[in-house]
Amino acid sequence: MAKGYIMGHITVQDADGYKEYVEKDTPILTALGGRFVIRGGQSETVEGESLMRHVLIEFDSYELAKKAYHDPEYQAVAEIRRRNAESVIILVEGTD
């Protein structure tokens, strides 16, 4: 079965507010089976335009990634991110 991913591209506008989001989203997403593969770190946009921060969370399947993103507890915490950052969040199915 192909893995599933939540991919986020983010530009933080309020670092303190975003820190609260990170503290609260991590236990929720890991409890739902997520494994953080990329979370910030050094990056270089070599083509096109991009937001500043990149996050990749791996799940055992695309369906589990979708379920985690739409989880009501996560969505409540996601409001903190939305207030403190510009975000593009993408659900992606991996290859087998």
What CATH number is attached to the domain comprising 80? Answer: 3.30.70.100
Q: Which residues contact 19 (CB under 8 A, 6 or more apart)?
A: none
DSSP 30-69: HHTT-EEEEES------SS---SEEEEEEESSHHHHHHHH
- Round to whole Å and give the CA distance between 39 and 41: 6
CB atoms within 10 A of CB 27: 11
Compute the mean pLDDT over every residue in the chain, rounded to the nearest whole number.
Answer: 95
- What pLDDT was estimated at residue 96? 78
Question: What does the block give as tokens for 29?
Answer: 């997403």
Q: What pTM was estimated for this model as a whole?
A: 0.93
User: For residue 54, what are the domain limits?
Assistant: 4-93
- pLDDT of res. 1: 86
Instruction: Dump pLDDT digits (tens) for 37-82.
Output: 999 889 999 999 899 999 999 999 999 999 999 999 999 999 999 9
Q: Residue 86 has what pLDDT?
A: 97
